[in-house]
Amino acid sequence: MTEGGKITVSCVLNGAKTDLCGEAAQPASEALRREGLFGVRETCSLGVCGTCTVLLDGEPVSACILPFYALEGSEVRTVEGLESGGRLSALQQQFIESQAFQCSFCTPGFLLSAAALLDSTEGALTDEQVEEGLQGHLCRCGCYETVKEAVRAVAARRHGQDAGRGAR
Ligand code: FES
Ligand code: FES
């Protein structure tokens, strides 16, 4: 729908059907931040740092180079949509326990790519899988090792749960 040079896109945003209004070619990150989703953080605006990552139909994408119109008909998840009923996800909780951040500016992006990785795999993860899944995320504070540790810990725990179920 077009109105005064602007378009309206319909999407499912963090689980809720939502209509958003904006300029077709503007970055999706701007439109999402206008909705108050400040976990979508913009730094490089070039698609190279990962801070603006959102999940589009379950896949991590850089919202700073994603045109607004591309949200139409999509399922969009930002870091605000990872918690459920006010409770942090197991992954978010593990980031805290593993001290996987310092300033935390990069954390929403890492969390979303890690969530996508965990959703698309089963059981424990190899170091290579984790590195590949987190590719394209930069952390100025150098928290790479603790981030990877957190993701491996969540994967290992579910692996243990899977093994336990299999043994019953
Ligand atoms: S701000 Fe989008 S990738 Fe850096
Ligand atoms: S925790 Fe500071 S940039 Fe990553």
CA–CA gap between residue 92 and residue 71 (Å, rounded): 25
Three-state DSSP at 76 gives strand
- Considering every ligand atom shown, identify the ligand nearest to the alpha carbon of residue 50 and give its number: 1
User: Most distant CA pair in the chain: distance in Å?
Assistant: 62
Atom of ligand 1 nearest to the CA of 138: 4
Whether 99 lines ligand 2, by a CB cut-off of 6 Å, is no
Place of tokens 């310092």: 102
Question: Residue ranges of the domains in the chain?
Answer: 2-81, 90-167
pLDDT digits (tens, 9 = 90+) for 10-61: 999 999 999 999 999 999 999 999 999 999 999 999 999 999 999 999 999 9
| Fold that domain 90-167 belongs to in CATH | DNA polymerase; domain 1 (1.10.150)
DSSP letter for 36, please.
Answer: T
pLDDT digits (tens, 9 = 90+) for 63-115: 999 999 999 999 999 999 999 999 999 999 999 999 999 999 999 999 999 99
CA–CA gap between residue 72 and residue 75 (Å, rounded): 9
- Considering every ligand atom shown, identify the ligand nearest to the alpha carbon of residue 27 and give its number: 1
| Fold that domain 2-81 belongs to in CATH | Ubiquitin-like (UB roll) (3.10.20)
CA–CA gap between residue 168 and residue 164 (Å, rounded): 7
